[in-house]
Chain A
Amino acid sequence: MRYIRPLSIEDAVGQLAGSAGTAAILAGGSDLLVRMKGGFVEPDLIVDIKSIAGLSEIRETAEGFSIGAAVPCAVLGESAALKKAWPGVVEAAKLIGSKQVQGRCTITGNLCNASPAADSVPALVAAGARASIVGPGGRRTIAVASVPTGPGKTSLAKGEIIEAILLDKRAPRSGDAYLRFIPRTEMDIAVVSAGVNLTLDEHGVIKAARVALGAAAPTVLLVEEAAEALIGRKLDEAALERLAKVCFGACRPIDDKRGTIEFRRKVAGVLARRAATSAYARAGGK
């Protein structure tokens, strides 16, 4: 096993692209190291990206925010501007693992681990976040929703690294929220989860909405019909009922050790309703 700590993204990409066996990118290591210790993976090459310039920074730009791939989730919570603009994304990042884990783990790692139950991913998808990717062929930007393609699988090609997650500048009267269900209070994996992102007009009518569900299908689900159920209305009981019903129907969950199909469907609806209520209040809706 070879461990390297490149100082530039180009060097990291080159090393990954040129590697012969299995390669893994190390940021916080909260997935990779656990999997290695458990004997599930034995990579031939580990590329630690924490020393690459810029990757450990959150930058506020004219377009919005750029969150470097090596920024620990705990640091997201320390950015007042990010918290104000995207409270749902930050609360999702701060639900991963435990306090100690949040000091290491990153939202980019959470995305690339491609678990259907990843906490930050539904919130990012609801937020319309994009991933900035560097590879042997140069840079490209894609929707976060296009990164995971199945449990443990991503659309990234050999040699490609996500260098940052991009979030748009916030429109006025916007709010987002993320909720997940776990049987305990912390240190757990989402049984099912919901992220909701709303923008209101000056009368409190929802003019834009995105609803994403986690642990409800092999990959994160962006539920267009759920957004349609909300757009053009205030968040009244009828809208919430419709939202819950649509989410119930949109789920394609499985029965497993963490929950049943029936339970996941019902709770997806409940969480979507509660997250929508919270997002609406954050957007200033009454």
Chain B
Amino acid sequence: MNFDPRYSGRNFTSVGTRPIRPDGVDKVTGRARYGADFNMAGQLVGRVLRSPHAHATIRKIDTSKAEKLPGVKAVITAADLPDLTDGDAAMYDILDNCMARTKALYDGHAVAAVAAVDARTARQALKLIVVDYEVLPHVTDVDEAMKHHAPLINDAIFTEGLEEKPVKPSNVTKRSQFGHGDVHQGFGHADFVVERSFKTEQTHQGYIEPHACVASVSSDGTADLWVCTQGHFVYRQHCAQLLGMEASKLRVTSSEIGGGFGGKTHVWAEPVALALSRKAGRPVKLVMTRDEVFRASGPTSATSIDIRIGARKDGTITAAEATLRYSCGPYAGSWAEIGAMTAFACYKLDNVKTVGYEVLVNRPKTAAYRAPSAPMAAFAVESAVDELAKEIGMDPVEFRIRNAAQEGTRSSYGPVYGPIGIGPTLEAARSHPHMKAPLGPNQGRGMACGFWFNFGGQTCTDLNIGMDGSVSLAVGTVDVGGSRASLSLVAAEELGIAYEHVKAIVADTSSLGYNDMTDGSRGTFSSSMATISAARNAIKILRERAAQMWDISVDDVVWEKGHAVARGEKHGNLGKLSLKEIAAASGKTGGPIAGHSELVADGAGVSFATHICDIEVDPETGATRVIRYTVVQDAGKAVHPTYVEGQYQGGAAQGIGWALNEEYIYGKDGRLQNPGFLDYRIPVCSDLPMIDTQILEIPNPNHPYGVRGVGETSIVPPLAAIANAVSNAAGVRMTHIPMSPPRILAAIEAERGG
């Protein structure tokens, strides 16, 4: 089946409209089933015992008392999850993170788990488990962890990517480098150079729904898992591998998802729930508390970044350099590497060099958070870019336009760009009314740009046409942001039928081929490509069936607006056959009609955005208020514009929280002090203005409709845009995120010399 994914520049009937979401009614009435809403007869309650220490050797775990407590049906430790990873280091880290094996590596690290008849018994049982810890020195700060005297988290780690092989172990797992040209020479041509260091604190995705699952392992070795996840196929693979099962014996069904943002791309509780169920012989439901979600799921990195940028008087950047240190938690990652790739991606640079260091700390394992690693790098770069524009005496938008990457630019991370949206978003921002809105006292305006790669990946869909002509679409990418509506629009568009006749579902892992998870802004991009392909395959069959019904050659049948049409003079007297009519006759023309598609969705178009915001700062308290916020972003093609706007607004809202108040606060004892929404301050509704959006559509040449991913880029510019606005309002450059009131007030006082 030759599928041509190239952009075709067609006119749209369904795509680009804004129908009501198909999952809306169930969600607002409470009927929708989220992770914790699945239940089974005989189900037990699973609870996890977690380390109170940031770093400790586990000498011994005595579970005997807990096992004897009436109502306890299973107690497990790492011994119940034997190492089956067979030298796969990444899988071993996942296993160790699910259940600590020899050392507890952070406050909240799982060390044992119980399954009991009710929550009260399970909680009591946890108190009866005796863990003998030898507490070790710990380190939670990314800069401290890099120092030579820092406590070593894993003495088997030697820094990769150094020119000389290191002789001593280190908390730095990897050094990576990107760029081209000669920065030394470039800085020699600069009239102005800005050099600054920045820090960002660790944040959590803050999804409202905690991790939740029900695991049921049968005595025949097969199992079912109902779970809230961004990728049930990946969960199946990981769980099957960790438990020593064949993937096909484990059926994973994804629930509705109350937010993921990258945080539900990893297994934590699921292998534990399966191991408990296997041992107890009964289904086990495991729901993490909010405290557990903060302490023991996967927040983003804390970072420390140095930036140096030089430019000529005319505003041309001559050289740009960044050193980025990202915390990974206690396991190796590639977070700084992604930061180093994205840092200068918006700009056309002759001389650029970025270096990333992956740093181990005694904090939970870093996981993806919406355009992972990019917002911090953008914060540092875009702050320095703003400062440089100011030094040169140029308008910050003009300065960015002058240096913006274009089609044909070699990106700072390597590839040469195709058609891209950075220039157009900047120009749209320049002429946006927001730029001319008057500012009041103590108010400042800031703007910043952001980039994200976007991903494609393995995808498949089934499109089944019912006897009544209605269409069911089974996809394998979890719907985290409205993709069932968008994919229904795409199926309707391709088939030429009404949106109302298409119903999309997310199929379980036994009903559909493998799909990568919904991450990298790939859900709508890749599943729409597979849907178009599946629809085209179905159309081919529809044409064949029409040809059969007419008894003419299929070559004389074309598909137009939901109908088979006979072409050619000799067929001029044949009326059109609708999809419904062909479907109704399918029992007599060869059986059910369906279209399938299995593909790797290549060519996810890169995405750019420019944000503008106005912030008011109370100079006496450091309090901030977001007055106005505008997002301009390239969507390629907005399939369902309301969802696209929602993605833009959501990313901005999360970025606002990150920029102003959200942070993991660790005590000297290495324990997390704010594992709850009271003191981990995500914005509440009244903290945010209406976030204005502008969708640009610069078609992605590698997608039939020109679609680009839109989910992640919107969180990249806010940290910087807000920092620039606060800096302008307060009259002092802010270099530490979050810009909480105490930090802002201290900066203002320091500037005053107070």
Query: Contacts A183-B681, A183-B741, A184-B687 known; A270 to B621 CB distance under 8 Å?
Result: yes
Contacts of A184 in B (CB 8 A): 661, 681, 683-684, 686-687
**Which residues in chain B, 685-699, are within 8 Å of chain A measured between CB atoms?**
686-687
Instruction: Find out whether the CB atom of A260 lies under 8 angstroms from the CB atom of B742.
Output: yes
| 24 cross-chain CB contacts under 8 A | A181-B621, A183-B660, A183-B681, A184-B661, A184-B681, A185-B684, A185-B687, A188-B678, A188-B681, A189-B678, A191-B741, A257-B665, A257-B673, A257-B674, A257-B679, A259-B741, A259-B742, A260-B742, A260-B746, A263-B741, A263-B745, A266-B621, A266-B745, A267-B745
Bitwise, B707-740 to A at CB < 8 A (1) or not (0) is: 0000000000000000000000000000000001
A274 and chain B: residue at smallest CB distance? B620
The reply to whether A185 and B686 form a contact with Cβ atoms under 8 Å apart is yes
Q: Which residues of A contact B742 (CB under 8 A)?
A: 259-260, 262-263
Q: Which B residues lie within 8 Å of A260 (CB)? A: 742, 746
The answer to whether A187 touches B684 (Cβ under 8 A) is yes
B741 touches A181 (CB 8 A): yes
Q: Enumerate A238-278 residues with CB–CB distance to B below 8 Å.
A: 256-260, 262-263, 266-267, 270
Which one of B123, B665, B674, B683 contacts A39 once the chains associate, using CB atoms below 8 Å? B123
Does B392 reach chain A (CB closer than 8 Å)? no
Known: A189-B678, A257-B679, A259-B742. Contact between A270 and B620, CB under 8 A? yes
Give the CA-CA distance A43 to B622 in the complex, in Å: 41
Q: How many A-B residue pairs have CB under 8 A?
A: 55
Q: Is A186 an interface residue (CB 8 A)?
A: yes
For A38, the closest partner residue in chain B by CB is B291
Q: How many angstroms between the C-alpha atoms of A266 and B665 in the bound complex?
A: 22
CB distance from B124 to the nearest CB of A (A): 11
- A263 x B673 contact (CB < 8 A): no
Q: Which 5 A-B pairs have the closest CB atoms?
A: A263-B742, A185-B686, A257-B665, A270-B620, A257-B673
Residue-wise, chain B 645-670 has the 8 Å CB interface mask toward A (1 for contact) of 00000000000000011000100000
Contact across chains for A183 and B740 when beta carbons are under 8 A apart = yes
* Chain A interface, >50% SS class: loop
Q: Which residue of A lies closest to B666 (CB)?
A: A257
Interface magnitude class on chain B: 20 to 34
A263–B665 touching, CB < 8 Å: no
Q: Can you add 17 more A-B contacts, CB < 8 Å, to A183-B623, A184-B683, A263-B622?
A: A181-B621, A183-B660, A183-B661, A185-B686, A185-B687, A188-B681, A189-B679, A191-B741, A256-B673, A257-B665, A259-B741, A260-B742, A262-B742, A263-B742, A266-B745, A267-B620, A270-B621
User: A224 vs B686: C-alpha distance in the bound complex, in angstroms?
Assistant: 36
A258-B679 in contact (CB<8A): yes
Q: Which A residues lie within 8 Å of B686 (CB)?
A: 184-186
**Nearest CB in chain A: distance from B169 CB, A:** 33
Total residues of chain A contacting the partner, CB 8 A? 21
Given B623, B681, B684, which contacts A181 in the complex, CB threshold below 8 Å?
A: B623
Which residue on chain A has the smallest CB distance to residue B686? A185
Q: Report A220 CB to chain B, min CB distance, Å.
A: 20
Q: Which residue of A lies closest to B682 (CB)?
A: A184
Chain A proximity of B259: nearest CB distance (Å): 18
Residues in A166-203 with C-beta less than 8 Å from chain B: 181, 183-189, 191
In the complex, chain A residues whose CB is within 8 Å of the CB of B123:
39
What sequence of 0s and 1s flags, for each residue 195-218 of chain A, a beta carbon within 8 Å of any chain B beta carbon? Answer: 000000000000000000000000
- Cα(A262)–Cα(B745), bound, Å: 10
CB distance from B48 to the nearest CB of A (A): 14
Q: How far is the CA of A32 from the CA of B123 in the complex (A)?
A: 19
CB-based contact A263/B687 at 8 Å = no
CB distance from B748 to the nearest CB of A (A): 10
| Chain B residues near A256 (CB-CB < 8 A) | 673
Nearest-CB distance from A258 to chain B (Å)? 7
With a cutoff of 8 Å between Cβ atoms, the chain A residues found around residue B679 in the complex are 189, 257-258
- Hey, which chain B residues are within 8 Å of A39, CB to CB? 123
Contacts of B746 in A (CB 8 A): 260, 262-263
Give Cα distance in the complex from A39 to B289, angstroms: 11
Q: B residues within 8 A CB of A191?
A: 741
Chain A residues with Cβ below 8 Å from B621 are 181, 266-267, 270
Q: Which residues of B contact A183 (CB under 8 A)?
A: 623, 660-661, 681, 740-741
Complex Cα spacing A263 to B123, Å: 40
Distance of A270 Cα from B620 Cα, bound (Å): 7
Q: Please indicate the chain B residues that have their CB under 8 angstroms from the CB of A186 in the complex.
A: 684, 686
What is the 8 Å Cβ interface bit string for chain B, positions 561-573, against chain A (1 contact, 0 not)?
Answer: 0000000000000
Give a binary string over B611-648; 1 marks a CB under 8 Å from any A CB, 0 the rest: 00000000011110000000000000000000000000
Determine the chain A residues whose CB is within 8 A of the CB of B622 once the complex forms: 263
**Cα–Cα, bound, A257→B674 (Å):** 7
User: What separation, in Å, do the CA atoms of A183 and B656 have in the docked complex?
Assistant: 13
Docked Cα-Cα span, A189 to B678, in Å, equals: 8
A204 to B622, CA, bound (A): 32
Q: Give the residue name and chain of the B residue nearest to A189 (CB).
A: B678
A191 CA to B678 CA, complexed, in Å:
12
Shortest CB–CB separation between residue B681 and chain A, in angstroms?
A: 6
Measured between beta carbons, the chain B residues less than 8 angstroms from A185 are 684, 686-687
Contact with B along A151-179 (1 / 0, CB 8 A): 00000000000000000000000000000
Interface residues of A in 24-79 (CB under 8 A from B): 38-39
Nearest A-chain residue to B679, judged by Cβ: A257
Give residues 99-128 of B contacting A (CB, 8 Å).
123
